[in-house]
Amino acid sequence: MRLRALDITSYRDYIRYLDQNPSEYDILKRVLPINVTEWFRNPETFQYLKDEIIPAIIKGKEEGPKRTVRVWSAGCSDGKEPYTLAMLFHEVLGGDVGRYRVDILATDIDEEELEKGRRGVYKENEMKGVDMKRRARFFTYKDGRYTVKPELRAMVRFKRHDLLKGPKYSSMDLVLCRNVVIYFTKELKERLYLEFFESLAPGGYLVLGKTETLMGDARNILALVNNRERVFQRPRE
């Protein structure tokens, strides 16, 4: 569609055009569902994280000296995924929340989306997936807009990061990378999955999108925990 509009005949030329015209990226974003996200996207995955994975991570911290939980939402779009995780940590920890530091790193390549996440303000029609109980507990409502409460905001750090070129992270207890790699080549996916392995603490979990699967060498070093919910684990050493 954009190629036709610009009278460009090959993808290679279009990529060159994209490189030379940063404003084209904004136009492309409007015509492709690049940033589409939802609260509790694939609710059954988040229910599984709430019932099994988050309690297991917390249990692991009780036994160790450190009470910091490190989570990475890679390709977080406008913040719905990392804030969903923050809600779940609040719900699982309940009254014990003050005894832990839950540090959710939310990264994306798109500064505009990150800025929206930092503001933490969502219109009524963007709140699908958050039930009334959660809206009342975790948001303030005014003039048709929901703002995340400081207790949720405090758990999430937004940072610009390109998964293909950015610095590497480590010691994560939980990494989510869902619905991000659709436009990546097989080689890039294979490299990225190995990097996710490296980013995990021993025993840490990786969650992929519902339609995605591990490929390349990462398949041999990450253990499958739940195939339906696309959850994998770095074995403890």
Using CB under 6 A, list all residues that contact ligand SAM: 34-38, 41, 75-77, 81, 108-110, 113, 162-164, 178-180
CB 209, min distance to ligand SAM, A = 6
CB 218, min distance to ligand SAM, A = 17
CB 121, min distance to ligand SAM, A = 18
- The nearer residue to ligand SAM, 100 or 155, going by C-beta atoms, is 155
Nearest to 89 by CA among 68, 74, 114: 68
CB 202, min distance to ligand SAM, A = 25
Maximum Cα–Cα distance across the chain: 62
The Cα–Cα gap between 35 and 114 comes to 11
- The nearer residue to ligand SAM, 42 or 226, going by C-beta atoms, is 42
CB 153, min distance to ligand SAM, A = 18
The Cα–Cα gap between 5 and 11 comes to 13
Give yes or no for a contact between 84 and 137, defined as CB atoms under 8 angstroms apart. Answer: no
**Ramachandran quadrant class, 129 (left: phi over 0; alpha: psi -120 to 50; beta: rest):** left
CB 32, min distance to ligand SAM, A = 10
Gyration radius (Cα) of the chain, Å: 19
- The nearer residue to ligand SAM, 143 or 183, going by C-beta atoms, is 183
- The nearer residue to ligand SAM, 129 or 216, going by C-beta atoms, is 129
For the four alpha carbons of 174, 231, 73 and 19, in that order, the dihedral sign comes to positive
- The nearer residue to ligand SAM, 124 or 162, going by C-beta atoms, is 162
Nearest to 53 by CA among 154, 173, 148: 173
**What are the strands of the beta sheet with 223-226, ordered from one edge?**
156-160, 101-108, 68-74, 172-177, 200-208, 231-233, 223-226
- The nearer residue to ligand SAM, 37 or 199, going by C-beta atoms, is 37
The Cα–Cα gap between 155 and 169 comes to 18
